Amino acid sequence: MAVLTPEQLVEQRQECAHAGIAINYTKQQFNVAAQAVEDVFTSAQLRTALNSAINTATSPLVLTAPQKQALVVAVLRRLLERF
C-alpha cells in the first residue's frame, strides 16, 4: 500500500523535471507509477528476500539493519546508473 504524501509526489515530479527528463505523462500517471515503485520497494517479500540474500552471503557474520540499508542503497545507486 502506497504511503507517499501528496507533497512527496510533488517533490518527486519536480526532481524528474529538474533532471531533464521529458515530461510526456500526466501528474496522475506519474503518481500511480511512483506509488507502484514504492509498493515494490516496501513489500515484505522484497525485504525478506534482501535480508535472506545478505545473511546467506555474509554468514556467519550478521550485518546490522543500518549496514544492510547502506549496502542496498549503494548497490541500487550503482545499478540505477546503468538503468
Given a cut of 90, whether residue 4 has pLDDT beyond it is no
Neighbours of 48 (CB within 10 A): 10
What is the enclosing helix (H) or strand (E) of 63?
none
Given a cut of 70, whether residue 1 has pLDDT beyond it is no
Q: Which three cell numbers stand for residue 58?
A: 555474509
Neighbours of 10 (CB within 10 A): 13
Q: Which residues contact 42 (CB under 8 A, 6 or more apart)?
A: 3
Per the CB < 8 A criterion, the answer to whether 17 and 23 are in contact is yes
pLDDT digits (tens, 9 = 90+) for 13-66: 888 888 887 778 899 999 999 999 999 988 999 999 999 999 999 999 999 999
pLDDT at 54: 97
Given a cut of 70, whether residue 2 has pLDDT beyond it is no
**Could you tell me the CA-to-CA distances from 28 to 22, 34, 64 in Å, in that order?**
16, 10, 38
